[in-house]
Amino acid sequence: MIAAIVDEDTATGLRLAGIENIYELSEKDATAEDLSQILDKIVYDFAVIIITERFAEKIRAKIRSINEMKHGITPIIVEIPDRKGAMEKEIDEISLLIKRAVGIRLK
């Protein structure tokens, strides 16, 4: 199953794509605590969790902790751009997961 933690505009697009489990927050009002509580609530119930890059940046340490502690491939936390576009990132979290899973770095 898929869940999403996103802003209002992204939520509309995901609903049109058929995703039902959407946790919608206002981009300006979403706090790290709010995001963290939602992630804690859903992390073990869904195989894929979609989160906007701007929200993920607010809880980066929690996402890395979840990725380091899991014993399989789920949940996969996928970061997507929001309506403002992609963010510049120093580290690509998906590449880290692939490296951990297969033991090599992909370019």
Q: Over 60: is that where the pLDDT of 106 sits?
A: no
Q: In the predicted model, what is the mean pLDDT of the chain?
A: 86
Lowest-pLDDT choice from 20-24, 50-54, 89-93: 89-93
Q: Report helix, strand or coil for 5.
A: strand
Residues 90-102: tens digit of each pLDDT = 666 666 666 666 6
Dist. CA 52–CA 73, nearest whole Å: 20
Q: Over 80: is that where the pLDDT of 4 sits?
A: yes
DSSP 63-74: HHHHHHH-SSS-
Averaged pLDDT for residues 35-44? 95
Averaged pLDDT for residues 22-42? 94
Q: Over 90: is that where the pLDDT of 41 sits?
A: yes
For domain 2-102, say whether CATH 3.40.1360.10 is its number: no
Q: List the alpha helices (DSSP H) in 21-59.
A: 32-42, 53-58
Q: Name the residue ranges covered by the structural domains of the chain.
A: 2-102
Q: Over 80: is that where the pLDDT of 105 sits?
A: no
pLDDT at residue 101, as a whole number: 61
